[in-house]
Amino acid sequence: MRARIAVLPGDGIGPEVIAEARACLAAVAQRFGHELELTELPFGGAAIDAHRDPLPPATLAACRAADAVLLGAIGGPKWSAPDAALRPESGLLRLRKELGVYANLRPVRVHAALADASTLKPEVLAGVDLVFVRELTGGIYFGEKRRDATSASDLCEYHVEEIERIVRAAARLARERRRALTSIDKANVLETSRLWRAVTTRVMREEFPDVALEHMLVDAAAMHLIHRPRDFDVLVTENMFGDILTDEASMLAGSLGLLPSASLGEGRRGVYEPIHGSAPDIAGRGVANPCGAILSGALLLRHSLGLAREAHALERAVEAALASGARTADLCAGRPGSLGTRAMGEAVLSRLPTPG
């Protein structure tokens, strides 16, 4: 197979973790007989500095022409002043909108070898294997914003068709797994959530009667994610709730640095990125965990390129590295012997199987 991948390293630790993800994708391509053309492009704060635009036209054009987009991280104190005219985050929101990627998949699975990396008891974590499906292009992040000297407002708005398509995406995924879908809202307070619940109920009843549906208020979901996380299979929710809850859920696995994500639309092209931020406090030190970026590459192989066997091989290599005791500082509280970013990437590469 031949494919073009637009690579957006971004800011902070983004370039460091993306370098390891690139190396793993290149190794997979070589071992399985594929040709991947990976092209790095300016994006985020780095693009603001170079082009006065977090998403330069050339970068957007290349992303549109690519089969998939691999993204590192964006942002940092340099671009976060309250009165900043340009912010890296605006480029990310625009990229998602322009590419039509509305469904953000964030899998959370607890590796047995890392049961001690979480602050929760091992018996709570045993068997945790869930996926969040977060609506990505609507809601309060995209609504009309107003501010004056004495007040401010952000409009949260959802349309029926936006809810229908994200629920269908989540239900299709649940049908491939354990056939259980939890829809998260705040229907006791918010009109957008009442619409969300009504539409979800109708879509599931009419189109997915074989998938069990549970409605849950967002505050209850936040509690049960810690109290009984293994009871969840697929969870679907609106943009802001999903943003917050997936960061909470990352702590089940022990670190933000472990978790990948895929942002998908109607076609095969997607945007793949680790869920962590740019971590400017550790940028340039070579200590960031690259596993989330590497596993995002595995999702890219599976969802955009249709290479399930290759994706599984890369995921197994990460598991094998962790099982062998390979750890970055975020997984071992900085104890002596923790691996740097490159060494962790090499630990994964060394365990990548050769097809036979």
Q: Is 7 domain-assigned?
A: yes
Angle at 325 between CA 321 and CA 331, to 5 degrees: 95
Position 192 scores a pLDDT of 98
Position 356 scores a pLDDT of 64
Domains held by the chain: number: 1
Residues 250 and 259: beta-carbon distance below 8 Å: yes
Give the model confidence (pLDDT) of 107-135 as tens digits.
999 888 887 777 888 888 888 999 999 99
61, 106, 169, 300, 345 from 246: Cα distances, Å: 30, 7, 17, 19, 24
Q: Is 254 domain-assigned?
A: no
Q: Which of 67, 243, 272, 330 is catalytic?
A: 243
Q: Verify whether residue 141 is a known catalytic residue.
A: yes
How far apart CA 134 and CA 194 sit, in angstroms, is 17
Position 256 scores a pLDDT of 85
Q: Is 337 domain-assigned?
A: yes
Q: Is 289 domain-assigned?
A: no
Q: Which of 49, 78, 129, 186 is catalytic?
A: 186
Q: Which of 116, 145, 210, 219 is catalytic?
A: 219
What's the average pLDDT block by block, 10 residues per block, for the chain (356 residues)? 97 98 97 97 97 98 98 95 86 94 94 80 90 95 94 97 97 97 98 98 98 98 95 97 91 87 94 95 96 98 96 96 92 72 97 83
How far apart CA 346 and CA 215 sit, in angstroms, is 43
Position 83 scores a pLDDT of 76
Q: Verify whether residue 158 is a known catalytic residue.
A: no
Q: Which of 49, 141, 154, 231 is catalytic?
A: 141
What is the domain range of residue 89? 1-97+295-356
Q: Verify whether residue 121 is a known catalytic residue.
A: no
**Placement of tokens 């599931």 in the chain:** 204
Q: State the CATH number of the domain containing residue 329.
A: 3.40.718.10
Position 333 scores a pLDDT of 57
Prediction pTM value: 0.91
Q: β-strand 145-147 against 68-73: which pairing, if any?
A: unpaired
Q: Return the bridge partners of 312, or none.
A: none
Position 337 scores a pLDDT of 65
Q: Verify whether residue 219 is a known catalytic residue.
A: yes
